[in-house]
Amino acid sequence: MGVLLGCVTALAGSLCAVLAVTALGPFLLWPRTRAGALGVLMAGARRLTALEWIRRSFFFGDRFPEHYEVSGRKILRHLVYRSGTGLLCTLVIGLLGFGVVLAGLLVRGTVQGSLRWDELLTQVVLGSVLLFLDVQGLRSLVALDARLARECFGPSEQELLHRRIDELADSRAAVVQAVDAERRRIERDLHDGIQQRLVALAMLLGRARRGRDPEQADALLLQAHQESRDVLAELREVAWRVYPSALDSLGLEEALGGVSERCGIPVRTEFDVPGPLPRPLETAAYFVVSESVTNAAKHSDATAVSVSVVLDDSTLMVRIQDNGKGGANPAGIGLSGLRSRVDALDGTLYIDSPEGGPTVVTAELPCA
């Protein structure tokens, strides 16, 4: 029914186009009236394409972007192509109907005995071949009609390619910015943290060497020993933030366990991934959890954090929720870096952190 209605709309569109061009032709040629005549022509063309949009949606179940703005050039091109394919489809359906009539006459002749067996066999073979070609031609035209509708009522392959190129360019720039920001943070941690502790350690050892009181020297050495342990712990923390070695040796689940152990507040982890994941996916999931848990412990005044890592079909769902005060800034260095890391894998990062809490960070990472 939808194909037959498409033939009718194609014939009506062709007729309306001929009449419109004939009536508006002089006005289109005159520069002063060209804009108005072109507006009238485009208004009629948009109504015809709206009928085509309804036909494809109702009879074939096609779904097109509702807010996609179709250009006038695409509309006119679609009407021209639709007129040609619709007329050709009408011709093919007419030939199919004519073949059905001939088949009926052939059956009547066979029943009446007016056809010999060799004539009947010849007619059946030729009719079968023509029927096959006719049906294949009709299928091809229906597929072409669907393709024309997708190109008109949605972004074309070229537009999708340009959009994808823009997304990749933005993602690459964001990754470069995130890497630079991470390097600056590492430099700041080394300069403000470890370097200052090493300076304090050197001063304690110097005082212990110059001291003449054995008890005071022992106290200074004990303090220096504790300071060296703190330096090692902080250096280990910085190294884990650069890249966790447990990902290579133990896997994502154990690496997330290390995040829970180093966190100053309780972390409840749910891990439901039946098999190994690609390394870039595991790395992204780890840093999403690590950064979110660190932010919750340092900035949100949270007392508990829940982490969920679940493989749902072909998507890895990572969800971190804390009971803190909320108000996390998605444009901050840490969260924006996470978004860039997730975007680089064609994933999506959602951050919901209203004032008063809770803060929920959700990452959807495609595995395919």
Q: What is the CATH number of the domain that holds 288?
A: 3.30.565.10
Is residue 178 very low, low, confident or very high in pLDDT (cuts 50, 70, 90)? Answer: low
pLDDT of residue 5: 64
Confidence of residue 65 (pLDDT cuts 50, 70, 90): low
| 51 and 38 fall within a common domain | yes
Residues 228 and 259 occupy one common structural domain: no
Residue 169 has pLDDT above 80, yes or no: no
pTM (whole model) above 0.75? no
Question: Is 70 exceeded by the pLDDT of residue 176?
Answer: no
User: What's the average model confidence in pLDDT over 258-278?
Assistant: 83
Domain end point (choices 218, 242, 266): 242
The answer on 189 and 297 residing in a single domain is: no
Q: Tell whether 92 and 176 lie within a shared domain.
A: no
Mean pLDDT: which of 96-110, 136-150, 258-272 is highest?
258-272
Based on the fold, state whether residues 259 and 330 are members of the same structural domain: yes
Question: What percentage of residues in the chain have a pLDDT greater than 70?
Answer: 75
What is the pLDDT, as a whole number, of residue 239? 63
Is 92 among the domain residues? yes
Q: What CATH number is given to the structural domain containing 202?
A: 1.20.5
Quote the number of domains for the chain: 3
The last residue of one of the domains, among 217, 242, 267, is 242
Give the model's pLDDT for residue 136: 82
Residues 9 and 83 in one domain: yes
Pair 125, 59 in one domain: yes
Confidence band (pLDDT; 50, 70, 90) for 157? low
Q: What is the 3-state secondary structure (H, E, C) of the chain?
A: CHHHHHHHHHHHHHHHHHHHHHHHHHHHHCHHHHHHHHHHHHHHHHHHHHHHHHHHHHHHCCCCCCCCCCCHHHHHHHHHHHHHHHHHHHHHHHHHHHHHHHHHHHHHHHHHCCCCHHHHHHHHHHHHHHHHHHHHHHHHHHHHHHHHHHHHHCCCHHHHHHHHHHHHHHHHHHHHHHHHHHHHHHHHHHHHHHHHHHHHHHHHHHHHHHCCCHHHHHHHHHHHHHHHHHHHHHHHHHHHHHCCCHHHHCCHHHHHHHHHHHCCCCEEEEEECCCCCCHHHHHHHHHHHHHHHHHHHHHCCCCCEEEEEEEECCEEEEEEEECCCCCCCCCCHHHHHHHHHHHCCCCEEEEECCCCCCEEEEEEEECC
Residue 311 predicted with pLDDT over 80:
yes
9-61 pLDDT, tens digit per residue, is: 777 767 776 766 677 667 667 777 777 766 776 777 777 777 776 777 677 67
Residue 143 and residue 182 in one domain: no
179 vs 46, residue with greater confidence: 46
Give a yes or no: residue 159 inside a domain: no
Confidence band of 237 (pLDDT split at 50, 70, 90): low
Domain of residue 63 covers: 2-154
**Confidence at residue 243, expressed as pLDDT on a 0 to 100 scale:** 66
pLDDT for the residue numbered 352 = 87
Q: Which of 83-92, 94-103, 169-178, 313-322 has the highest mean pLDDT?
A: 313-322
Residue 43 has a pLDDT of 72
Same-domain pairing of 236 and 251: no
Same structural domain, 204 and 223: yes
Is residue 166, in this structure, part of any structural domain at all? no
Same domain? For 252 and 235 the reply is no
